[in-house]
Structure 1
Amino acid sequence: MKLRSITKRFGALTALDHVDLDIEPGKTTVLLGPSGSGKSTLLRSINLLEKPDEGTLDFGGGPIEVSQRLSDQRIREIRRHSTMVFQQFNLFPHLTALQNVTLAPVKSRGMAKAEARERGIEALTRVGLAEKVGSYPSRLSGGQQQRVAIARALALSPDYLLFDEPTSALDPELAAEVIAVLSSLASEHRTLVVVTHSLQFARSVADRLVFLEEGKILFNGDPERFFNSEDERLKRFVSVVGSV
């Protein structure tokens, strides 16, 4: 996937300033940066949850000019490429874990219920929740609820899995559960794009690190080069975030 000259403004604030980024298939790309740097806006631009004011997206079929008026069908086609996992789990409290996972494949993709159930059980097993298929969210820990959200994304078989600070609402022990699942998915060479403040995850799992500040990319490259950089801005960020 290629993003070119992606620009997003909120009034007088330029959240993204002509950002260029290639997302390599089968790799894990981690987006880092201080609060307000534009990393979540960039992530949400990939599936048009935030519609950029300028720029193009290319999923392999040629560049799509995102500033033009896109039909609802075209937006749905773009969103089929990726699935987002948010900070909050956004599970339906009246549905079981399995029902939460199978809802989107049936409703938005027209999948047969039997196939969706099979995929759902497989996805929940994949995230270590095979025994929780019939559990309601209120009976699950925060880490388990986030793993259900990941299973829900997996059940849609997207080209790109997008994670917006998936552990920020969890305490360290529960966050470790989710990070273990993400690490396992990365080892399978799925294409992940992850916004996180976890330098441990970034160092151990990322194939590529992208550091943003004030809507611009200041670093895009190998994790070891990032963590060993002599750039004062990067050193300060690692020192401050790493000590939290």
Structure 2
Amino acid sequence: MKKLVYLLFVICLSTPCFAQVQYPVFGDAKKPKGKVRSFTESCYDISNGEKVLVLKDGYAYNQKGQLVSRFIYDTIDSTAIPTKITYIYEDDELAEEIGPSYNAIYLYDERGNKMVKKYSSKEDTYLERYSYNKNNLLIETVRYGDDKRLRFKETLKYTDFKTLLSRTHNVPDSASLSYFANYSLEPKGNVISERVYAANSYMKYSITYFYDDYYNKNEETRYTSNGNFESRSTFRYRY
């Protein structure tokens, strides 16, 4: 049984909110709502009665609300930042992502939808392509290796209200890595539950989500395939 506590220390401004940037998803998915210039996320494992840092990330945004830097801290020396990732924009769209040992380039269509991601590092090289519906919602992602072989295909379906309904992730010749997920949402559009199934329809796990008065996620609880409690993460914000 694991208990994880996430602490998010947020620097906010009182002027109107920035519009959320579509990419990169990693930073913006966790970004608290509002005009945030920077925030730090810390995750502690308290399952053994002690507070042990297992993750600490920092995020910085520009005046347009775009993620420009991500800082990954050392978990032993929590003030050291061994890894920094930089995001470069052109015409308000993410053009390039630069890490210590990798580089990613993004291309867009005339509607501003991300169409291509080219990733390159010493260990791996791949190309991702994206497809959208008439509402500009992402409906398909495919990834190819440098050998041109398909690595995975992921499809997403939405409700009539444009909220995520399901996600299917298919890895060729690998049933163990393939899965699909169904989502339940509350009236505001926030996901309140996620049920993930293996390719043979056997449920792998489920997650329930809770939100505070600002609609920021403040708790998620994960259960096993049998419905038994597995772990709980709590998120605390300083407004």
TM-score, normalization: structure 1?
0.34
Which has more helix, going by share of residues?
1
Work out which of the two has the higher radius of gyration on C-alpha atoms and give 1 or 2: 2
TM-score, normalization: structure 2?
0.34
Q: Which has the higher contact order (CA 8 A, sep 6+)?
A: 1
Which has more strand, going by share of residues?
2
